[in-house]
Amino acid sequence: MLKRYPLLFGLLFLGYAFLYLPIFSLIIYSFNESRLVTVWGGFSTKWYGELINNGPLLDAAWLSIKIAALNASLAVVLGTLAALTLVRLRGIRGHKSLGVMVTAPLVMPEIIIGLSLLLLFVAMEDLIGWPAGRGQTTILLAHVTFSMAYVTVIVQSRLAHMDTSIEEAALDLGARPVKVFFAITLPMIAPALAAGWLLAFTLSMDDLVIASFVSGPGSTTLPMVVYSSVRLGVSPQINALATIIIAVVSTAVLIAGVTMYRKELKAQRKS
């Protein structure tokens, strides 16, 4: 196959090289002795030690993880409710308007979202005194606002293609709607919920633009710290931090792949 289409193979190789060579370069230079990230000064792990002692960077990383976890959990709850409304309650008044408002953050530029939320928070503080200033709460609310849209689309797609005959049978047998949801619907849409949670977590961890608008002096997320550091020159500590993140993500993907492979093997053996 590759011999028959050498041009396609070459383009494929160049594409993957363009994506992954910078990542490999970043990992290699995280073990660089020299402070200059473009000059190799010998093998060393000292930047990992300095990273551990970098209090502001670790505090920003912990803040980002905490906000991302809360954001993902809230986005899954709200996104699931919105998806259920859009799929199961098509006849209610304002259904189309709800669909437009829920999916608007998907196509709206982040700078517009950040600016509009900043103006909203300022107006709310003037009117009701909450939220008091910009900090973790405003970042969390902003992240939930746009993350919920992604979760809604994922869960809505799963609900739209789900067989409802089991739910209808349970209702005919006397089960209450709440019981049907937790016993039947929720397990069936669990993969979509997990995918939505992971996507919302990733979006929150990666966000820079919106967080820059709605954050305050005492609440700096990891992307903001990294961006500020890079503007003054790339530090080897950033390479070390990026290498740790890549290692954690790669390990999680590997575990998920092995788990899915084993499940497929068990299913094949049973069949």
pLDDT at 2: 54
- The Cα 232–Cα 221 span in angstroms is 17
pLDDT at 257: 83
Place of tokens 């797609």: 157
Spans in the chain with pLDDT lower than 50? none
> Do 144 and 78 meet the contact criterion of CB atoms below 8 Å apart?
yes
Q: Which of these, 119, 120, 145, 121, lies nearest to 132 by C-alpha position?
A: 121
pLDDT at 3: 62
> Do 205 and 65 meet the contact criterion of CB atoms below 8 Å apart?
yes
Residues 6+ apart with CB under 8 A from 124: 130, 131
3-state secondary structure of 43: strand
Residue type, 47: W
pLDDT at 192: 93
121 phi, psi to nearest 5 deg: -65, -40
> Do 41 and 32 meet the contact criterion of CB atoms below 8 Å apart?
yes
pLDDT at 81: 94
- The Cα 49–Cα 31 span in angstroms is 11
3-state secondary structure of 32: strand
pTM: 0.87
Q: What is the rounded radius of gyration, in angstroms, for the C-alpha atoms of the chain?
A: 23
